[in-house]
Amino acid sequence: MTKLLKTPNTILKFNRTLFTLTLILAGALCFTPSPKTFGAVSTDKTAVKVNTQREAGGITRFVVENSELSEVTMTFDFSTVNLKSEVTFPYTATFKPGETAAFTLSPLNTNAEWDYAYTNYYKLGSSVAVPDDYVYSLPYEPGTTHRITQGYNGKYSHQGSNKYAIDWQMPQGTPVCAARGGLVVKVKDDSDLGGGNIKFDPFNNYVLIRHDDGTLGHYCHLKKGGVTVHPGQIVKTGDVIAHSGSTGFSSGPHLHFCVFMVKDGKTRISIPVKYRVGNGDTITLVEGQKYRAPEVQTAKATALHSPATAVQ
């Protein structure tokens, strides 16, 4: 269990005297009234800037500069006077790494005063990801077995945006393996604090990996100094990426894993996935059951089979 960052917002107001603005969106400087969610980055700053450029005819162009290693989804909400745009607000879009023109505002009457105020929200992740039928590997070493203490729709904390997360009971220091290969986007392993109170959430250590289908895989509560990968690294299914712990909002040693995308700049969506278990079956994992990782894990996707209730 771990808490997802309440999305920061910035409220700005400008009039026709504006020429150029650079807005730096910096992590948890302020918060939206969005509901509490669990299962993602809670303390890191997202490296995103919104720049405005003044053009002929009073046009203001908004440009998103995304310095992250994966997509960022933003939602803009505007209040305008004597201005029009080619998009309808609230406006949500996903921006790839790099610089992308988002939209423009232009005066309805160039001889009259104009102004605008806006709020924007962002989350790391894509709103246009198309989750595929990839079969995930269990995120621990081949031949080892771990019990699920909280599964899909878990009553303790797996609700809402964290609905399809899985918690495995796991002694501290257990090797954590990539359940699916991809690009390492973010890591944190500088904390040694954890506990069963939400106040510990900022101390969660994690690895975040972007998959080929645009979804993100999030591994949480890792041991201090236990991450073995770095941002920008490509990992394969089964690679050891970290060691388990009990940091952040955690009532005891375990590994929390969730696959997700985002709906907009405020809301994350967890994705139900299936796993290959020790006997070779492809199933939906069940809370309370123990599952053994196959002796040889593979990154190859396979066709889905009917869910099973328990597999050793």
Q: Assign residue 65 the CATH number of its domain.
A: 2.60.210
Number of separate domains in the chain: 2
Same domain, 145 and 98: no
Report the pLDDT value the prediction gives residue 13, as an integer from 0 to 100: 47
Residue 189 · residue 227 · CB < 8 Å: yes
Domain membership of residue 299 (yes or no) is: no
Domain membership of residue 302 (yes or no) is: no
Domain membership of residue 309 (yes or no) is: no
Same domain, 152 and 89: no
Report the pLDDT value the prediction gives residue 299, as an integer from 0 to 100: 47
Domain membership of residue 304 (yes or no) is: no
Write out pLDDT tens, residues 220-251. 999 999 999 999 999 999 999 999 999 988 98
Distance CA 176, CA 45 (A): 25
Residue 104 · residue 61 · CB < 8 Å: yes
Report the pLDDT value the prediction gives residue 45, as an integer from 0 to 100: 67
Report the pLDDT value the prediction gives residue 6, as an integer from 0 to 100: 36
Total-model pTM: 0.81
Same domain, 94 and 205: no
Between residues 159 and 5, which one has the greater pLDDT? 159
Q: Which of 119-123, 194-198, 259-263 has the highest mean pLDDT?
A: 259-263
Same domain, 148 and 257: yes
Which tokens in the block code for residue 223? Answer: 């041991």
Report the pLDDT value the prediction gives residue 134, as an integer from 0 to 100: 98
Domain membership of residue 41 (yes or no) is: yes
CA distances (Å), 309 to each of 72, 76, 163, 284, 293, in order?
37, 44, 18, 8, 16
* Residue 266, number of CB atoms within 10 A of its CB: 21
Write out pLDDT tens, residues 135-187. 999 999 999 999 999 989 777 778 888 899 999 999 999 999 999 999 999 99
Distance CA 54, CA 124 (A): 28
Same domain, 102 and 229: no
Q: Which domain holds residue 283?
A: 135-292
Same domain, 118 and 214: no
Same domain, 262 and 173: yes
Between residues 88 and 28, which one has the greater pLDDT? 88
Q: Is 275 helix (H, G, I), strand (E, B) or coil?
A: strand
Which tokens in the block code for residue 293? Answer: 């990782």
Same domain, 119 and 177: no
Same domain, 169 and 218: yes
Domain membership of residue 303 (yes or no) is: no
Q: Whats the size of the chain, residue-wise? A: 312
Domain membership of residue 130 (yes or no) is: no
Report the pLDDT value the prediction gives residue 11, as an integer from 0 to 100: 45
Report the pLDDT value the prediction gives residue 44, as an integer from 0 to 100: 53
Same domain, 147 and 225: yes
Domain membership of residue 308 (yes or no) is: no
Q: Which of 31-35, 110-114, 130-134, 156-160 has the highest mean pLDDT?
A: 130-134
Q: Assign residue 141 the CATH number of its domain.
A: 2.70.70.10
